[in-house]
Amino acid sequence: MAPSGPGSVRRRCRRVLYWIPVVFISLLLGWSYYAYAIQLCIVSMENIGEQEKELLEREPRGEAHQEVLRRAAKDLPIYTRTMSGAIRYCDRCQLIKPDRCHHCSVCDKCILKMDHHCPWVNNCVGFSNYKFFLLFLAYSLLYCLFIAATDLQYFIKFWTNGLPDTQAKFHIMFLFFAAAMFSVSLSSLFGYHCWLVSKNKSTLEAFRSPVFRHGTDKNGFSLGFGKNMLQVFGDEKRYWLLPIFSSLGDGCSFPTCLVNQDPEQPSTPAGLNSSSKNPENHQFPAKPLRESQSHLLTDSQSWTENSTSLGKGKAGMSNPALTMENET
């Protein structure tokens, strides 16, 4: 019979600790198989199939079907279109897509203001949880930076043989490597999403610009840095760093602008001349939607009528001068 006592308990605990590296390697191998077999071979292939489906969506639909969609979307706050100019319609969910809404092949449903599908949380990142996703990145980055900064001096002692020869030094080494590796990856990911917030874009919109009735506009939803921040974090600054939903809007309609020019690029006389020479090509006013959203879904005939009436008025004012010259 094996002796019992504090010594035997320590030996059992030591045997359990010996299995930690084995469990770590097993989990690492299992994760690598999951990442390759599931995420790469299955999920990625489905995403490729979804892209091919979106390519088919760009093909013009039947005129009768489009007429029904146009009548249904006439009173809806829907301003984006497909590449062919048709109403965005989800064949899988059988509904008209709101602006910035996309169908997720993994979740098998349409996601409002979809950013991407995150396999690490097994959920789509969109309108309802985008702020929480940013806070998750920020909290995780601060945690990893704190671990890496406080563990650095002991990591240096590990290589200079300044630590006792125990199992703890191996944990210290792997802890620093993990914290440093995740700090680099999280900082790049968090920085990229901060840039997206400053531009009021989603990941999908960064790779494929939204299409409006007047054409493609990569800055169509950008309202300026300050207002772009408020769209995600809300008006109450006290809630910005708390996991409390405070985003503006309902996820179905978004304020936008009808400016094709990139706000970061300075205006050029050539661009002004091209717009002045062809006024008939500019069917929408270059001003924010809050001042002209009532004209966005209506026919552009009103704009052409106004321009025609202005032209007739100018012609009428110039006619008396011509008659006086003829009389003299």
Q: Catalytic positions, please?
A: 118
Question: What is the per-residue DSSP string for 199-253?
Answer: HT--HHHHHS--EETTEE-TTTT---HHHHHHHHH-S-GGGTTSSS---SS-SS-
Alpha carbons 177 and 168: distance in angstroms, whole number = 14
Residue 77 in contact with residue 252, Cβ under 8 Å? yes
Conformation bin of residue 140: beta by default, left when phi > 0, alpha when psi is -120 to 50: alpha
Burial of 211 (0-12, 13-18, 19+ CB in 10 A): buried
Alpha carbons 286 and 212: distance in angstroms, whole number = 13
Alpha carbons 135 and 197: distance in angstroms, whole number = 13
Q: Across the strands, what pairs with 80?
A: 212
| DSSP code, position 283 | -
Residue 222 in contact with residue 200, Cβ under 8 Å? yes
Alpha-helical runs (H) found in the chain: 6-18, 20-33, 44-57, 63-72, 130-159, 168-199, 203-207, 225-233, 269-277, 289-292, 301-327
